[in-house]
Amino acid sequence: MATDCNPEKDPLGVLKTRSSMIAGFVLAATVFAAPLADASVTISTAATRNMNCSGGVCSPTGKTAFLNVSTLETMLASGNATVTTGSLAKNIIVDAGVTWATSNLLTLDAYQSVTVVYPVQVTGTGSLALVTNDGGKRGTLSFVGAGGNIVFSSTSSSLGINGQAYVLVDTVAALASGIAGNPAGYYALANSYDATGDGTYAHPPIATSFTGIFEGLGNIISNLSVVDATASDTNVGFFASVDTGALVENLGLAKLNCKDQEPASIVGALAGSSLGTIRGVSVSGTVRGKTNTSIGGLVGINDGLIVNSSAAGSVNAGNKSVIWIGGLAGENEGSIIGSNATGEVGATGPLAIAGSLVGFNGGTIVTSFAAGADSGGDQSLVGGLVGANGGSIENSYATGAASGGATANIGGLIGFDVGTVATSYSAGAATGGTGSLIGGLIGNDQAVANSIAKTYWDTTSSGISNLGQGSGNISNDPGITGLTTTELQSGLPAGFTGKIWGLSSGINGGLPYLLLNQPSL
């Protein structure tokens, strides 16, 4: 990498197009929506209504139906039970805890989606079958809330998802062993697992490149520690790499410690690099890397799809130089949809490309946000959302502070831009040292004309009240508008649609928020 970081040029040659960039993702302006209660069968503590149960099968008699959970558990005590949406409803919502200790089978068969809000617990040797998109499309299996998970007391139980049998595992070692023997297999985490007793892994626990499906079932692996000291490990994380065609979903990693002690590695909490799909994964903890490294709170480099995922830990490279670092991904060459990062990102050494969501974006980011503070050293590219953008950003925002050293490019949303940006805003402070280019939204805008549209920065909270300083190098940069905090709280800015954005005094400090990707209260 070159060291010519004149802020008027393309620093480090960073704005490249990787030949391995993933194509073919059909992007939407919204994330995958949660099922609507008015078109669903809901398993709850409410009285059974608009439901017919006969011969072990319960199906709705109207678009909105309720099945009392005690009724369902009574059925499972004596035989197999099936809950289906039939031809009237679309989704199944588990809104009350379901438990059975028999060897019987529960089937949840949905036209579209199955959403688990409260625990489903198979305490005996029973079996579970889940079916989504039985006639519909774009349906998902999802888990919401602190208690939304599926737990099996025995890994000898059976789990089937959309007709595919899954291997149940209850430890990191069991998962690693299974994938080593069959990298293309189907695996599911039977229960939450505390990895404290595993000690510290000196290599990625899942060292084999993964091409199969890992279903977390809403469970959490906590206290996982990976401190890699081997120069031969190019990718460092829970998974070394998630390969093309693979899916990792509905998993939590909590209190994680991931650290690479050798230079020139790709480091991420979930995976060093990903060519596959990561969906519904959340991470909290710390991620550390060294010189010449791509570091991300979720993945180091994403060449695939990340959707509905989040990272809340701290991502840091200390005073190391030439770092691509992001709260979610160090580098994105694929697609990030409906995801967020809220932890602190720090790379105080020179030549850092640092963003609270993504360090360098060469792909697509939509309906996503970052809320953590972000810092870089001298000659760095620092943005509240993205350090350097050579791709596309739409319907996204950043609220954390961005700061850099001398001769840096610093922006509330993007440090350095040659890509496209639309219907997005920033609200964090942007500050830098001597000779830096600092903008309310973009530090250094080198994009072609008309590449920025309907974008805004908060002139109150950013500390940049000069309405001509939307970018640090172009006065009155077209497509960028400064608004006060009060103005942003008073109504959606021009170009922001109410189908994607919302306003509420109790959400996101009263600033615009994404309806399907809301920040935690």
Residues 111 and 26 in one domain: no
Distance of CA 513 to the CA centre of its chain: 16
Q: Residue 34's pLDDT is what?
A: 41
Distance of CA 323 to the CA centre of its chain: 21
- For 186-241, write each residue's pLDDT tens digit: 999 999 999 999 999 999 999 999 999 999 999 999 999 999 877 677 899 999 99
Q: Residue 213's pLDDT is what?
A: 98
Residues 364 and 454 in one domain: yes
Would you say residue 10 has pLDDT above 60? no
Q: Residue 55's pLDDT is what?
A: 95
Would you say residue 99 has pLDDT above 90? yes
User: Is 501 among the domain residues?
Assistant: yes
Residues 336 and 387 in one domain: yes
Q: Are 468 and 440 in contact (CB under 8 A)?
A: no
Confidence of residue 90 (pLDDT cuts 50, 70, 90): very high
Q: Residue 146's pLDDT is what?
A: 77
Can you give the pTM of this predicted structure?
0.92
Residues 359 and 332 in one domain: yes
Neighbouring C-alpha atoms within 13 Å toward the C-beta of 6 = 3
Q: Which two tokens stand for residue 273?
A: 């690099």
**What's the farthest any 2 CA atoms get from each other in the chain?**
77
Q: Are 333 and 302 in contact (CB under 8 A)?
A: yes
Nearest-angstrom CA–CA distance, 202 and 233? 10
User: Is 152 among the domain residues?
Assistant: no
Last residue of some domain: 81, 104, 139?
A: 139
Q: Which two tokens stand for residue 298?
A: 């979720």
User: Nearest Cα to 324, choosing from 259, 268, 369?
Assistant: 268
Write the CB contacts of 306 (distance below 8 Å, at least 6 apart in sequence). 274, 277, 278, 279, 298, 299, 328, 329, 332, 334, 335, 336, 337, 339
Q: Residue 170's pLDDT is what?
A: 97
Write the CB contacts of 399 (distance below 8 Å, at least 6 apart in sequence). 369, 370, 371, 384, 426, 427, 428, 508, 509, 511
Residues 135 and 10 in one domain: no
Q: Are 303 and 20 in contact (CB under 8 A)?
A: yes
The percentage of residues in the chain with a pLDDT greater than 90, rounded to a whole number, is: 85
Q: Residue 349's pLDDT is what?
A: 85
Beta-bridge partners for 128: 106, 159
Residues 1 and 127 in one domain: no
Confidence of residue 423 (pLDDT cuts 50, 70, 90): very high
Q: Are 438 and 406 in contact (CB under 8 A)?
A: no
User: Is 272 among the domain residues?
Assistant: no
User: Is 53 among the domain residues?
Assistant: yes
Confidence of residue 264 (pLDDT cuts 50, 70, 90): low
- For 468-519, write each residue's pLDDT tens digit: 999 999 999 999 999 999 999 999 999 999 999 999 999 999 999 999 999 9
Write the CB contacts of 146 (distance below 8 Å, at least 6 apart in sequence). none
Q: Which residue has the tokens 């908060």?
A: 458
Q: Are 429 and 446 in contact (CB under 8 A)?
A: no
Nearest-angstrom CA–CA distance, 450 and 473? 16
Confidence of residue 290 (pLDDT cuts 50, 70, 90): confident
- For 357-402, write each residue's pLDDT tens digit: 999 999 999 999 999 999 999 999 999 999 999 999 999 999 999 9
Residues 106 and 51 in one domain: yes
Write the CB contacts of 108 (distance below 8 Å, at least 6 apart in sequence). 82, 83, 92, 94, 114, 128, 129, 130, 131
β-pairing verdict for 57-60 and 51-54: antiparallel
Residues 346 and 468 in one domain: yes
Task: Give residue 107's identity as a one-letter amino acid code.
Answer: T
Write the CB contacts of 420 (distance below 8 Å, at least 6 apart in sequence). 391, 392, 393, 394, 447, 451, 452
Question: What is the total count of domains within the chain?
Answer: 2
User: Is 396 among the domain residues?
Assistant: yes
Q: Are 365 and 357 in contact (CB under 8 A)?
A: yes
Per DSSP, which regions of 197-237 are E strands?
A: 200-201, 213-222, 225-228, 235-236
Write the CB contacts of 487 (distance below 8 Å, at least 6 apart in sequence). none
User: Is 406 among the domain residues?
Assistant: yes
Residues 120 and 49 in one domain: yes
Residues 1 and 89 in one domain: no
Residues 351 and 479 in one domain: yes
User: What's the Cα-to-Cα distance from 151 to each of 119, 137, 163, 216, 319, rounded to whole Å?
Assistant: 7, 27, 19, 10, 43
Nearest-angstrom CA–CA distance, 327 and 386? 10
The percentage of residues in the chain with a pLDDT greater than 70, rounded to a whole number, is: 92
Last residue of some domain: 118, 139, 160?
A: 139
User: Nearest Cα to 28, choosing from 516, 456, 508?
Assistant: 516
Last residue of some domain: 113, 139, 165?
A: 139
User: Is 226 among the domain residues?
Assistant: no
Question: What's the domain range around 89?
Answer: 37-139
- Sheet with 239-242: strands ordered across: 239-242, 271-274, 299-302, 329-332, 358-361, 386-389, 414-417, 442-445
Would you say residue 441 has pLDDT above 50? yes
Residues 343 and 463 in one domain: yes
- For 60-79, write each residue's pLDDT tens digit: 999 999 999 999 999 999 99
User: Is 419 among the domain residues?
Assistant: yes
